[in-house]
Structure 1
Amino acid sequence: MTWLVADDWDSTPMGERFQALVDRPGIVRAPGAHNAMAGVLAKNAGFDCLYVSGAAVTASMALPDLGVITLDDLCFVVRTIHRATQLPLIVDGDTGYGEVLNVMRTVRELEDAGAAAIQMEDQVLPKKCGHLNDKLLETPEGMARKVAAARKARRHLRIIARTDAVQAEGLEAGIARAKLYVQAGADLVFADGIKTPEEFRRFSTECGAP
């Protein structure tokens, strides 16, 4: 039935529900959903977590993935998917929509919209799609400050720190950044640009977080 009909929805905070999935053995399967209908289709197919891609949301507006959508644009999409599915949503928050105070506002707005986790990347504005070359990175310390601010602002939202340093600066730099972000308060880390199973294993082992 549509979300207009009241159901006995799980009142557990979405961040806690997402953490329970992470803590289970195995892989958390999170297909992309750029709107509510896509989310419902994924839920009906048996998935219990969704990923709201910034690139997909941007493309649905016929725009390039270059950091041109607003926080309000993203929150509207997150809210509609949340209402329709009641599944934990991993939301691509790009660079956090600004600096430290902006990141704190982003965290609270996404939490209120129904997000379970925010993924923030260490690029500078204007950001680029992760598949493009010549990405410019925030300093490690600058990104760590954003992560710490997100941690301070969140109530239950999980924080996923993404680094693009592997492609731009090498695996060692990516691992060093990931460790710093975990120390700053990231719950999980995501490294873009890792290519081999061996690199994945090493990164996962050394970074200190899922």
Structure 2
Amino acid sequence: MLAGGGLAVAPGAYDCITARAVQTAGFKAVYMTGAGTSATLGYPDYGLLTMREMVDNAARLVAAVDIPVIADADAGYGNELNVYRTVMEYEQAGVAGIHIEDQEDPKRCGHLDDKRIIPQGDYIAKIRAALAARKNPDFVIIARTDARAVTGLDDAIQRARAALAAGADIAFVEAPQDLEELRLVPERVNGPCLVNIVWKGKTPDISLDEAQAMGFKLALLPGLLLKSVVQTCDQVLHSLKEIRRYPPPHGSGDITPSEGFRRFGAGEWDGIRQAVEAATFDR
């Protein structure tokens, strides 16, 4: 997808339900959001999850869908040795690619204030460690920098260019703060760039067509489903309290129990059950 023309789009998912929804909607890739993964365990996106917790969730998403899974790998969970193992674990889990950032541990969501970054040399050392660890050349290493919020756009672009020069596949400049800054990222980085579209975040709201026209190669929408699910839950629970019966469906349709199970492989498992029963009967 990245080698072809156009913009690859990966909506964010945080569990198998949302990952399957992305695939069912026809998208060709899904992004495992770190913020959403943290939320499923009851935590804010403050770098509180371990590498094992993140990889385990990524592995579940990989098993649930047939499309590539891109995953948040935070700051690599330590120094260069930790980054090396992080790449090993994500690759063994079947993930298609990860992004590693230059924040200090514990990191924070890229659209919050008070972030801190490590020196550029330490950051590039982590990117080199990630590249050294991967065994599959198709495993994508995305170099994310949060420098815009700390040292400014010029430093962020310099770090992105240095990461690509070191061998990273895609540059991810987090949270440009207006349309002009956003436009300058692919123009000045001189390599494949990712745009992170976060509603009400630091980055200005743009359409996918606008992102493609600017020259971005990959778009993530990490909070799209998490935000929608939380809002829907609030609405449905409020309705239940108000009308004191099962609320009518929101949106254009409803999902029956059988349709819900079908989405998650009921037909396949029915076939397996029939085959097992037939084999048992034959014996």
Q: Distance in 2 between matches of 1:208 and 1:120?
A: 19
| 1:186 correspondence with 2:186 | no
Partner residue, 2:46? 66
1:120 deviates by 0.7
1:205 deviates by 2.2
1:21-170 equivalences in 2 (<5 Å): 21-156=1-136, 157-170=139-152
Q: Which amino acid aligns with 1:94?
A: D
Partner residue, 1:205? 187
Q: Which amino acid aligns with 1:203?
A: V
State whether residues 50 and 90 of structure 1, in contact with CA within 8 Å, keep that contact through their aligned partners in structure 2.
yes
State whether residues 182 and 208 of structure 1, in contact with CA within 8 Å, keep that contact through their aligned partners in structure 2.
no
Q: TM-score, normalised by structure 2?
A: 0.65
Q: Distance in 1 between matches of 2:176 and 2:99?
A: 17
RMSD: 1.1
1:198 deviates by 2.9
Q: Distance in 2 between matches of 1:31 and 1:95?
A: 21
Percent identity for Structure 1 against Structure 2: 38
Q: TM-score, normalised by structure 1?
A: 0.87
Structure 1 runs not aligned, ≥5 long: 1-20
1:56 deviates by 0.6
1:197 deviates by 3.3
1:170 deviates by 1.1
> What is the DSSP-based 3-state SS (H/G/I as helix, E as strand, rest coil) of the residue aligned with 2:163?
helix
State whether residues 93 and 118 of structure 1, in contact with CA within 8 Å, keep that contact through their aligned partners in structure 2.
yes
Partner residue, 2:203? none
1:102 deviates by 0.5
**Runs of 4+ deviating beyond 3 Å:** none
1:66 deviates by 1.1
Structure 2 runs not aligned, ≥5 long: 193-283
> What is the DSSP-based 3-state SS (H/G/I as helix, E as strand, rest coil) of the residue aligned with 2:108?
coil
1:147 deviates by 0.1
Q: Distance in 2 between matches of 1:139 and 1:176?
A: 12
> What is the DSSP-based 3-state SS (H/G/I as helix, E as strand, rest coil) of the residue aligned with 1:29?
strand
Q: Distance in 2 between matches of 1:47 and 1:31?
A: 8
Whichever of the two has the greater Rg, that structure is 2
1:105 deviates by 0.3
Aligned counterpart for 1:175 among listed residues 154, 157, 165: 157
Q: Which moved more, 1:197-206 or 1:57-66?
A: 197-206
> What is the DSSP-based 3-state SS (H/G/I as helix, E as strand, rest coil) of the residue aligned with 1:118?
strand
